Chain A
């Protein structure tokens, strides 16, 4: 445990893996949301039905183990975790107990900070419960088994996270890795349990259960840290307990103390054989370059600054976009434009990078027109806004719409002459030594040309005409 820190947090995270079929049966993991339409005797726990392990789930969890630099166990061993609950189709969950597939891993937040991973294992998801009149008001629950049996990865960290904000950073980094290695859908739900302790209590451990969703996790942790501080400030002491997060009321509530801990009565899952050879299998599975490795390379290969590189790798699609673009445009300019402009317009249109209607071709054209000063920065920004609405051929468009920057052309000279004729006061002021009036005249030309005039050139022309 990290006893240097004021706050110590450990996380236990559950994410659904993006297999086609469930962990132990052939029912689809996604599709119709009509309740109880993706079920079979296995995931409904019907008597006589037997589970068969989905190799797609095994390969995904192995990928994750590799990405988190875990030691991979050679044997895949499942156990039965027994507890009664209305969302359980068998009243036991097939999970891994003493023999998780991955142990002793690391997740790198950046080059100098990392969080230890205690274990990574595979298990099945329970059914979804609907409380028709809310949790507090419902006399019964409604059960939908569509989700029951979906494959879940459980990732447990060391208690090395030092603040709710860092917990969020950790989750961001984890999500990035999960999507980089392609084992998880970005819309999948993430759930977490956390243990939280603070220095003032001598690090008395409190567990928080049932936190669903990304933002909720930081919120629940922040709430729990301040609750613990308040308890101590009042002069009370903290007890080792389990609390549950109530997302509606934004508060945690006592569930049980340590002495009444559930007894899960684990036994090995006798319907499954132990599957040996996981280490050899893991060796045959390739994982792509991970975000922190890629960021390092971008700095080295393209001379990006660390901050730009960090933003570029935040999403795999963005990093891919960058590397393609950097082949055809100045890398540093590319990174700046992706970061500032592409992300701005995508964000505004609420479109993910992977679905961007603005392609590498579009941006390469925009940047090359910008580089040879055919168009102004203003025009380039406007092109981005137009492209997100409806894509078009950038070079043709600039040509037909006459968006080229006005520079040495006679046309610009004409605009300058008009500006001088229309603003005798300003001309007079300039001649009497007020440099500011030149700015004013440049502004008038820019306005008249809708920003297509190149400022530097306009300035030179005006000076020449004013003699």
Chain B
């Protein structure tokens, strides 16, 4: 538990430097086997730890997260540390500023130990779409299996470092926190859209991107959320409203979601629901027909449209990979740099997104999905008039093997997100609770609350332990 660890560091009972030293050694060892990290920030982490120890010696309070280890998904800027969203085109980019969430963690005494692997730009469900030249991470529970994505490095590191006071700062656009949390058997929380500032987050799809947390228990997530949440003058969509708590009496189970899960997941989820029932919650069935039917298409159209504009800026000027010979026409130059450095999935999403906002198709795809999104949000809002919490399995399966994933077509891969796209489109808080399966792998139960009910979701999740 990170609160206890921070207390020991603040009291001078635990040297942050000694602890960080030990953790870094473990990270480096793990990384050799599993490739969780894109960068391990050994020097910065040691310097931070020494600073914390000095603060303690000097009688200053290093903060509520003193000495807590934080790994950061590679799409979040850390000043002076290579930040590429795990893509080759951004190789060498060291931001001038840290993401607001990262800065708030550092200010609270946390120690950044490294940047974690992800599908390049967040484009993937299994963390198999890392950028050109990057290693693919493997699941610490079974190295033949995928970590899930796109925050695969974060979830895998959280599982593998479970004996340390460690959390991972990650990001979800359509399920990128919940999916790897479920596959790696840890807790993940994706907050209400806007509750955590996106300043310093390399955008995938801005209207869907949320900075969130992965940890080994929900109490750790709650503590970190208190530090990173809140308005940010540098980010126009960050919320000024505060997250709310609330009692939970009625729990809705998304029945159309259960039907879509494989049997082992369904059984684990059913016994999870049974436990809740035995704790005295009212369990009711809820249907979300619009979300179930249209969610995946609406999500991918909107996400790809936004993504394709975000990635336009990556064209070999000002930062990132460039060609020193610029004495060619700009169209040729941009085309060369982009064709050379984007991986296949990035090209695929740029192309699909460009198509869906082209004149002639824009209304049928992009515009329609912005309207459809309104209906999806309304569907959730109406559901939460009847229930306090919604529940569904996080993913339809447990972690597949690398070979199984390789067999999937893009359309099949996108369909794997069918349970997570809904809450992401609606911007509602959702957490994944690990459910152990008989074969030693994990599934996840996804706990969802209405917008801004983050504390309600997290307290309920704590009660599920």
Contacts and interface: CB of A to CB of B under 8 A. Distances in A.
A and B touch in the complex (CB under 8 A): yes
Contacts of A424: none
A267 B357 contact: yes
Interface string B299-310: 000000110110
A89 B313 contact: yes
Contacts of B306: 267, 270
Nearest to A271: B206
Contact of B202 (A47, A140, A268): A47
A231 interface: no
A450 B232 CA distance: 75
Given A47-B83, A272-B236, A41 B206 contact: no
A50 B358 contact: no
A80 B309 contact: yes
A263 B235 contact: no
Interface string B191-209: 0000000111111011100
Contacts of B359: 263, 265
A86 interface: yes
Interface string A253-281: 00000000001011110111100000000
A97 to B, nearest CB: 11
Given A41-B97, A47-B202, A265 B331 contact: no
Contacts of A52: 233-236
Contacts of A267: 305-306, 309, 357, 366
A47 B90 contact: yes
Contacts of B233: 52
B312 A91 contact: yes
Contact of B334 (A50, A84, A140, A273): A84
A155 to B, nearest CB: 24
Given A84-B334, A91-B312, A265-B309, A53 B362 contact: no
Contacts of A263: 358-359
A265 B315 contact: no
Given A263-B359, A272-B236, A45 B318 contact: yes
Interface in B207-229: 207
A47 B85 contact: yes
A82 interface: yes
Contacts of A266: 357, 362
A85 B90 contact: no
A390 to B, nearest CB: 51
Given A86-B330, A89-B318, A267-B366, A46 B96 contact: yes
B95 interface: yes
Contacts of A90: 312-313
Interface string A104-144: 00000000000000000000000000000000000110010
A92 interface: yes
A270 B206 contact: yes
A44 interface: yes
B354 interface: yes
Contacts of B354: 265
A428 B305 CA distance: 101
Nearest to A265: B357
A182 interface: no
B134 interface: no
A65 B128 CA distance: 52
B237 A271 contact: yes
A443 interface: no
A46 B309 contact: no
Interface in B340-397: 354, 357-359, 362, 366, 370
B272 interface: no
B318 A273 contact: no
Interface in B282-338: 305-306, 308-309, 312-315, 317-319, 326-327, 330-331, 334
A46 B370 CA distance: 27
B357 A50 contact: no
Contact of B330 (A80, A84, A139): A84
A467 interface: no
A48 interface: yes
Nearest to A145: B318
A92 B83 contact: no
A143 B315 CA distance: 15
A50 B198 CA distance: 8
A48 B199 contact: yes
Contacts of A86: 317, 330
Interface in A23-58: 41, 44-53
A50 to B, nearest CB: 5
For this complex, into which size category does the number of interface residues on chain A fall? 20 to 34
A265 B362 contact: yes
A84 B236 contact: no
Contacts of B362: 265-266
B49 interface: no
A167 to B, nearest CB: 30
A158 B308 CA distance: 34
B362 to A, nearest CB: 7
B209 to A, nearest CB: 9
Nearest to A143: B317
Contacts of B414: none
A270 B359 CA distance: 19
A32 B77 CA distance: 29
A93 to B, nearest CB: 11
B370 A268 contact: yes
A457 to B, nearest CB: 75
A48 B206 contact: no
A52 B327 CA distance: 35
A430 B326 CA distance: 89
B99 interface: yes
A91 B350 CA distance: 14
Contact of A50 (B76, B96, B236, B330): B236
Given A267-B306, A268-B370, A53 B236 contact: yes
B93 interface: yes
Contacts of B305: 267
A248 to B, nearest CB: 21
A48 B201 contact: yes
Contacts of A47: 77, 83, 85, 90, 93, 95, 202-203, 313-314, 319
Contacts of B207: 270
A271 B313 contact: no
Contacts of A271: 198, 203, 206, 236-237
A270 B358 contact: no
Interface string A67-83: 00000000000001010
Contacts of A46: 95-96, 318-319
Contacts of B203: 47-48, 271
A91 B313 contact: yes
A403 B305 CA distance: 79
Nearest to A83: B312
A50 B99 contact: no
Interface string B85-103: 1000010010111010000
Contacts of A268: 370
A51 B357 contact: no
B235 A50 contact: yes
B236 A265 contact: no
A56 to B, nearest CB: 16
A48 B95 contact: yes
Contact of A140 (B234, B318, B327): B327
A272 B99 contact: no
6 contacts: A41-B97, A48-B199, A86-B317, A92-B312, A263-B358, A265-B308
For the complex of A and B, the 6 pairs showing the least CB-CB separation, nearest first, are: A91-B312, A270-B206, A270-B207, A139-B327, A265-B357, A48-B77
Given A267-B305, A270-B306, 9 more contacts: A48-B97, A48-B200, A50-B199, A84-B315, A89-B313, A265-B354, A267-B309, A270-B206, A270-B207
Interface of A: 41, 44-53, 80, 82, 84-86, 89-92, 139-140, 143, 263, 265-268, 270-273
Interface of B: 76-77, 83, 85, 90, 93, 95-97, 99, 198-203, 205-207, 233-237, 305-306, 308-309, 312-315, 317-319, 326-327, 330-331, 334, 354, 357-359, 362, 366, 370
